[in-house]
Structure 1
C-alpha cells in the first residue's frame, strides 16, 4: 500500500471512509494576516514560495488585498483588509494572523455543499459561479471548528492563474523553491472535550474515517498532556488530526494555543518533501527557526526505528526526528511558531513508506515545545 516518498492517488486506500464527498486534494489555504504584502515577502524569502496571483484595488477589489503563492501543489493565499471594521479585521483582532479557509478541490462544488449541509454542516456560503475571460469556477463553503471554514472549489472549466477576480502576479524577486511538494496533513486544536465532536463531524458530514487515536498516555510529558485523533478521506489525500487538551500538571501547548488564538483553529500545516535534509538545510539558511531536541535523542534512535537509508549524523546536525510504523519510516521536524502569537507553525515531513504521524517522537517533541513555553512564561 505504501511506497517510498508516498503520495496518494485518487484510489480509495482507507476502506472505512464513506467517501460520499470525493475530494481531489487541498486547493488552497487562506490566511487572514495584518500585512499581506510583507507576509508574502516572508513566505517567498523563507519558504521558497513563488508569486502566482493578486487581487486588490488594481483588480477592482475595494475591501481587501490577497496575494497567492505556490510551491509545487501547495497554494497559500494571504489576505489583509483595506478598511477598518468588517469580518477580516475582527478575525485578525481576535486571533492574530491565522488560517481562515482550508479550501478543498472537488469535481462538483454544488454537490459537495448539498451533501455536507444535508448532513448537518452549517453553510458558509451557497454554491456560487465566478467567471472571467479564462472560464468559470464554482465555489461553496461550510463552517468547521472555531471560525475556520472549508471552501469547496470546482475548477475544471477554468484556465486562469488562480480564481476569477485575480490577475497574474509577476515579481522581479523570486527566491528559489526549497523542495516543498504538497500538504500532507493539517492539524486543528479544539477546546476541552471537543475532539470527539469534531471527529464525528468529519465522519458524519464529510464521510471521513478515523485512522488513529492518541490519548494522554501516548502524548504526555512530566508536565503536560493532550489527546488527538486523525481523520482522513478515503484516498488519504486529506488528513485532519484533531487535538484537545488533557489534564496535566502545567498548561499544555494546546491550552497555550487556545489562549492566544482565542478559540479553536489550525495549529500546524505539515508539508511534504522528497529530501528533508536539503529542504531543512535551505530553510535554516533562510532564517526559519526549528524546535530542537536534546542530542541524547539520537543515542538510541536507530535501536528504536531500525535501519534507515540516511546517515544519522546529518539528521542529528539538523535535529530531524525519525519514527517507524508497519509500513516504513518517516523523517520530520517542526518549526517554531511563524507568528508573534505562539499559535501556527509548520511541520516538514518526508515519508519513506510510513503512514503514521511520529508517535515515537511525541515525548521528545513536546518536551522541546515545553522549553519554548517556559521561555515564553506560559507553561
Structure 2
C-alpha cells in the first residue's frame, strides 16, 4: 500500500470543492428513485419531466444531507445515445458532478490538456439565480459535470420543481449519512494507469493512495487500485483494474456485465455506522456477509495495536462491519449487495476515525465475501 505525500504543484487557479451530485441513467427513473427513498432513507428533492417542459427525459432527484442522486430516464422509444447505453450497461452511473470555483479556468486548462468537452460552458437560470456548467468525458461512457453554483440559491438546479417529503419515512427508522466519501471506477485490464493519468493531466488531481495485486489478492483473484484526489482532497476517485488470478475477479465480472469501464460503487460517509447499518438493515438493505474467522483474527490483532476501537467488536461482527486501522486511527466499512439486477453497482457505507485509507486490510476478506456471491451467480 502506498500513500503519496507529494501532491505536486498547487493549481494556480480553479478549485474542486466537493461532489455535487451523481446522475444514474435508468430505464424507469420513478421506480429507481423510490428504491433509494424506501430502502436507503433518501428524501425526494426535485423533479423534471413533461410537466415542467422536459419532453425527452424524466429526472427524479433524491437527497440525504449533502448526498444528491439524480435518476434519469428517456420518454421516447427511438434509438438515442441514452437508449443505446442503457441497453449495453443496464441502469448505471452516467455522470459524477463536481462543484467547482473558477469554472472558466478549469475548462480552459482541461481543453489545453486534450480533454474531450462533451458540452462547453453553458448557464441555466430561474428565480433563484444562475448556475454555470460544463461537461467533460472521462473513462468508459462516463462524464463529469463541473458546476459553479455560487450565484444560485435554489434547492437543486433550474428547470426542476420541488417534491414533497415521502410519507413512508414516518414508519421507518431514520438514516443519517452525510456526504459522498469517494466514487470508484472499474477499468478493463491495463487501463487503470491511462484513467489515472487523465485526472492528473486534465483536472490537476494527484495520486493519493494505491495498492497492487501483491497486496490485494485471494487464492482466486486480485486487483490493482490508484486513488486520485483534488488538491484539497475533498474529492477522491479510486480507479481499479483486475489482475490475473486463478479465477475471475469481481472487477473482471463488473467489466463484462457492464460492458467496459464504469462506476462500480459509491462510498457514503456516516458519523455513526452502527445505528446507520441497524436502520438500513431494518429497511431491508442487503449487505455482504463476512466470515466469522475475520473477527477472530481482528480481535487478536487489535490486542497488539495502539489504536482502540470505540465500538463493540461483537456488534460489528453481528452487523458484518469491517475494521481497518493503522497507528493513528481506524475506519469501519460495509458493502451492500448489488443494488440492481446486473452484478455491477453497489454502495459502501464508511465511518472514519482519523484514518484516510480505503480499507486495504479488508480487501482480502471483502474479495472472499464477493467470491461467495460470485459463486452463487455461477461467475467465479
Q: TM-score, normalised by structure 1?
A: 0.94
Equivalent in the alignment of 2:86: 92
Structure 2 residue ranges without an equivalent (≥5): none
Equivalent in the alignment of 2:110: 116
Q: Give the whole-Å Cα distance in 1 for the aligned partners of 2:99 and 2:165.
A: 27
Quote how far apart the aligned CAs of 1:37 are.
Answer: 0.6
Q: Give the whole-Å Cα distance in 2 for the aligned partners of 1:17 and 1:62.
A: 45
Q: Give the whole-Å Cα distance in 2 for the aligned partners of 1:251 and 1:155.
A: 43
Equivalent in the alignment of 2:367: 366
Quote how far apart the aligned CAs of 1:161 are.
Answer: 2.1
Q: Give the whole-Å Cα distance in 2 for the aligned partners of 1:120 and 1:235.
A: 24
Q: Give the whole-Å Cα distance in 1 for the aligned partners of 2:158 and 2:349.
A: 32
Equivalent in the alignment of 1:8: none
Quote how far apart the aligned CAs of 1:224 are.
Answer: 0.8
Tell whether 2:46 aligns with 1:53.
yes
Tell whether 2:233 aligns with 1:242.
no
Deviations 1:261-305 (A, max 9, x none): 001000000000000000011111111111111111111203334
Q: Give the whole-Å Cα distance in 1 for the aligned partners of 2:9 and 2:167.
A: 44
Structure 1 residue corresponding to 2:60, chosen from 38, 62, 67: 67
CA contact (8 A) 1:180 1:279 kept: yes
Q: Give the whole-Å Cα distance in 1 for the aligned partners of 2:14 and 2:261.
A: 24
Q: Give the whole-Å Cα distance in 2 for the aligned partners of 1:356 and 1:115.
A: 30
Tell whether 2:282 aligns with 1:293.
no
Equivalent in the alignment of 1:276: 273
Equivalent positions of 1:168-317 (< 5 A) are 168-175=162-169, 177-305=174-302, 306=305, 307-317=308-318
Question: How many pairs align?
Answer: 367
Deviations 1:218-253 (A, max 9, x none): 111111111111111121111111000110011111
CA contact (8 A) 2:44 2:166 kept: no
Q: Give the whole-Å Cα distance in 2 for the aligned partners of 1:17 and 1:354.
A: 24
SS of residue in 1 equivalent to 2:178? strand
More divergent stretch after superposition (217-226 vs 18-27): 18-27
Structure 2 residue corresponding to 1:34, chosen from 27, 31, 56: 27
Quote how far apart the aligned CAs of 1:315 are.
Answer: 0.5
Deviations 1:321-372 (A, max 9, x none): 0010243100000011101000000000000110001111111110000010
Q: TM-score, normalised by structure 2?
A: 0.94
SS of residue in 1 equivalent to 2:16? coil
Change (3 A) 1:319 1:17: farther
CA contact (8 A) 2:45 2:162 kept: yes
Q: Find runs of 4+ consecutive structure 1 residues off by over 6 angstroms.
A: none
SS of residue in 1 equivalent to 2:39? helix
More divergent stretch after superposition (115-124 vs 46-55): 115-124
CA contact (8 A) 1:271 1:348 kept: yes
More divergent stretch after superposition (184-193 vs 168-177): 168-177
Equivalent in the alignment of 2:101: 107
Change (3 A) 1:212 1:293: same
CA contact (8 A) 1:144 1:150 kept: yes
Equivalent in the alignment of 1:145: 139
